[in-house]
Structure 1
């Protein structure tokens, strides 16, 4: 599968351009195939599912723009993130994220099409977020990765998702964020009504129970060649699993270009790890040599355990060299 090149469904020119030219301009981690799946889902929902696009955990906007670029003129999207309020971030830092996100929105003509909410998603329900009812058709959950963040955000998505809409839960199978798995099962075991139906690279797709078969069939129709395994047992349902092959993207006029692929693929990461290990070994060897040199100087300075064995005029310069080497 990874060596195959597959033709993706046709997309509007803005989405085509972002997926083939702009994906790597936005800092962040998003697998190219996942960007394609989400971008296409948003496009085919138009006219079929009512509502807006929303994301919790926007960061600098990589997946958000993939979903929202080229939105119809009568639609807006909602971006929710703590952005630079890093005292609320228990996992990492994200300096100047809001500035960079706004710059990305401007680059892709989305500045006036996006409502930005800066704050924790844990406070949204108390602020009346759910009172406006079911109004989102595509809802990305990519905020805090601790279990209670994930469970909370899925409940928010459930309460505001339009019938037939799709929720994408990020990092479901990421070994570094096991809180996501815990949070998803906490949500499902706690009476959550969203039903998982597909797994695209790094994201679990869920929908309302009445729309599972429709959304499953739609994704198969769109990306059947990318389907790696159908109806995999998962809890009390089955999900379809989609891979990360090489895609050729096409626009509505038939123009084609290769999908940009994130350089942080497994081979690239393995190469980077090897490079860092070599650098670590080089620095370690240099440190060993310096320590040996320091020991030699110490022996020369104190051959009899006394500090005054050198001529008086040489003692101060020798000590300066000694201190400099000790600091390295």
Structure 2
């Protein structure tokens, strides 16, 4: 059982301050029985997300060189990337900060190692995740967004979203808002938007210039059949060194994703799980799976919880919402 002292310590560690009141302490004492529940509760709270900027205030006025930052964090402090990271709480969407940071850092790792290709996402919502991936874009590469936007009546998942309490935000989605987010946080990206169900999108449309996709985010339909359609589109269009990010992989609200993913990896596929990050599974072809595992361990060493956890016929590292993002931002000037 947790105690009042546990709550105070968790506030100091995670929020960098004392609890605001006895009522706040009582809230967590009533809600949580074990330390893990307390920590996960605070990490998942809006207060933790909004406090990102304050917790990331630099501890020193002496700025390390870019080379020192890359050596320490495995991430280059590219201005668009930093701008996006600092403003994550202001962008509508359900992407946890650690997943956003790790994914964008891997996309940057691809760019720094000359792994060329387009970046694609099915189910972009307001672009919170895609904008971060797009900060790594280089000349000749495209950012491809697939979403129904205002045409949610064509969404086969709309009933499920309604039951889960997510229908209202989905109905408020507009393509204009998405375009504004992309232009604000990824202003150098060449954007191709496909306003259509992914069930009616072909592989050729995701490779408009003949160039394959180096980072593909699958976050569209959450039913078994739609998810498998999207995952197969990703595998068909993926570059040999590409990464696939599967959203809601262990989310109990969407058992169709869990079922379909296990069946997919139980079958014949060249994709291999690389890492579980918060609410996502990152995958790559076997030839590059270990390369990305090593890169991730350099990018997010504080967040690595377990190595080689079982999933289907394979294993993947497990990452939790740690402090790598905040340590990175604290090393930079405001």
Shift in Å at residue 169 of structure 1? 0.1
Match of 1:34 in 2: 99
Match of 2:115 in 1: 49
Which of these residues, 326, 329, 334, is aligned with residue 248 of structure 1?
326
* Contact 2:117-2:213 within 8 A present in 1 as well: yes
Match of 2:153 in 1: 87
| Inter-partner Cα distance in structure 1 for 2:217 and 2:203 | 20
Match of 1:173 in 2: 250
From the superposition, tell whether residues 26 and 50 of structure 1 become closer, same or farther in structure 2 (CA, over 3 Å).
same
* Contact 1:232-1:240 within 8 A present in 2 as well: yes
| Inter-partner Cα distance in structure 2 for 1:55 and 1:181 | 19
Match of 1:145 in 2: 222
Shift in Å at residue 79 of structure 1? 0.7
Indicate yes or no: 2:130 matched with 1:64.
Answer: yes
> Structure 2: which 5+ runs fail to align?
1-9, 15-54, 57-71, 159-166
CA offset digits 1:60-98 (Å, max 9, x no partner): 101011111353344321111111111111323333421
Match of 1:230 in 2: 307
Match of 1:103 in 2: 180
* Contact 1:102-1:111 within 8 A present in 2 as well: no
* Contact 1:10-1:249 within 8 A present in 2 as well: no
CA offset digits 1:168-208 (Å, max 9, x no partner): 00000111111111121232234232111210000001111
- Please give the root-mean-square deviation of Cα atoms over the aligned residues, in Å: 2.6
Indicate yes or no: 2:258 matched with 1:184.
Answer: no
| Inter-partner Cα distance in structure 1 for 2:184 and 2:283 | 31
From the superposition, tell whether residues 186 and 131 of structure 1 become closer, same or farther in structure 2 (CA, over 3 Å).
farther
SS of residue matched to 1:184: helix
Match of 2:28 in 1: none
Indicate yes or no: 2:222 matched with 1:157.
Answer: no
Please, which moves more after superposition, 38-47 or 125-134? 125-134
From the superposition, tell whether residues 224 and 250 of structure 1 become closer, same or farther in structure 2 (CA, over 3 Å).
closer
Match of 2:79 in 1: 13
TM-score (norm 1): 0.70
| Inter-partner Cα distance in structure 1 for 2:288 and 2:187 | 30
| Inter-partner Cα distance in structure 2 for 1:99 and 1:180 | 29
From the superposition, tell whether residues 123 and 71 of structure 1 become closer, same or farther in structure 2 (CA, over 3 Å).
same
* Contact 1:149-1:183 within 8 A present in 2 as well: no
Higher relative contact order (CA 8 A, sep 6+): 1
* Matched residue count: 254
From the superposition, tell whether residues 234 and 134 of structure 1 become closer, same or farther in structure 2 (CA, over 3 Å).
farther
From the superposition, tell whether residues 185 and 130 of structure 1 become closer, same or farther in structure 2 (CA, over 3 Å).
farther
CA offset digits 1:106-143 (Å, max 9, x no partner): 32353862110110111123876579766111110000
SS of residue matched to 1:49: coil
From the superposition, tell whether residues 43 and 249 of structure 1 become closer, same or farther in structure 2 (CA, over 3 Å).
farther
From the superposition, tell whether residues 245 and 87 of structure 1 become closer, same or farther in structure 2 (CA, over 3 Å).
same
> Structure 1: which 5+ runs fail to align?
258-328
Match of 1:299 in 2: none
* Contact 1:134-1:159 within 8 A present in 2 as well: no
SS of residue matched to 2:302: helix
* Contact 1:155-1:192 within 8 A present in 2 as well: no
| Inter-partner Cα distance in structure 1 for 2:146 and 2:194 | 5
SS of residue matched to 2:268: coil
